[in-house]
Amino acid sequence: MSPKAADIQRILEELYPEVPIPLQHKDAYTLLVAVVLSAQCTDERVNQITPLLFARADNPYDMAKLEVEEIKEIIKPCGLSPAKSKGISGLSKIIVEKHGGRVPESFEALEALPGVGHKTASVVMSQAFGHPAFPVDTHIHRLATRWGLSSGKSVEQTEKDLKAAFPESSWNRLHLQIIFFGRQYCPARNHKPELCPICSKYGV
């Protein structure tokens, strides 16, 4: 690990020794649905909506029975509700029909579900099942580029660069630590690099 990566990891570890998962959930299925809802939506908004949705259906069997239109009405405040409601309905049916009602524990099977891309699969694999993964959303992509840890050409490239920069055992924690850090110290707008504990040292 490079001295810079080690120092960034040390700063993040000092600031965020505890990293709770920001999306409220009770199991792999409710986490999967919450992550699908979180696309282009804040975690706070998702956490307001999921209790309403899960009161109707908190497992794939019940969710598969709901009309797509009903799911759409509940999740409308999260945005992109037509696509997300179809995805949630479709993935629930596949989990019931192909996986015995259990969220599959592999990247390949997760990414085959409707509405589930690589980032969503990475979150579920790391946070629900504890497998090493480094989910890269637009925020982590932006920070990795800002700190000179990645060329930032694509989210896929950033994921490769971050996996190469840090030990595998730290990926699941680092993903959350970087998200918390970005919110508190390193926002996209009105960022003051001189006040940021990492950008003041390593900002590019």
| Distance from C-alpha of 196 to C-alpha of 93, rounded to nearest angstrom | 45
Task: Count the neighbouring beta carbons within 10 Å of the beta carbon of residue 127.
Answer: 22
Catalytically annotated residue among 7, 137, 153, 163: 137
| Distance from C-alpha of 68 to C-alpha of 91, rounded to nearest angstrom | 12
State both tokens at 162: 């971050």
Catalytically annotated residue among 72, 84, 119, 161: 119
| Distance from C-alpha of 54 to C-alpha of 25, rounded to nearest angstrom | 10
* Alpha-carbon 91 to chain mean position: 17
Task: Count the neighbouring beta carbons within 10 Å of the beta carbon of residue 13.
Answer: 14
119 flagged as catalytic: yes
The DSSP secondary-structure symbol of 112 reads T
| Distance from C-alpha of 86 to C-alpha of 93, rounded to nearest angstrom | 11
Task: Count the neighbouring beta carbons within 10 Å of the beta carbon of residue 143.
Answer: 26
62 flagged as catalytic: no
| Distance from C-alpha of 134 to C-alpha of 174, rounded to nearest angstrom | 8
Q: Which residues are catalytic?
A: 119, 137
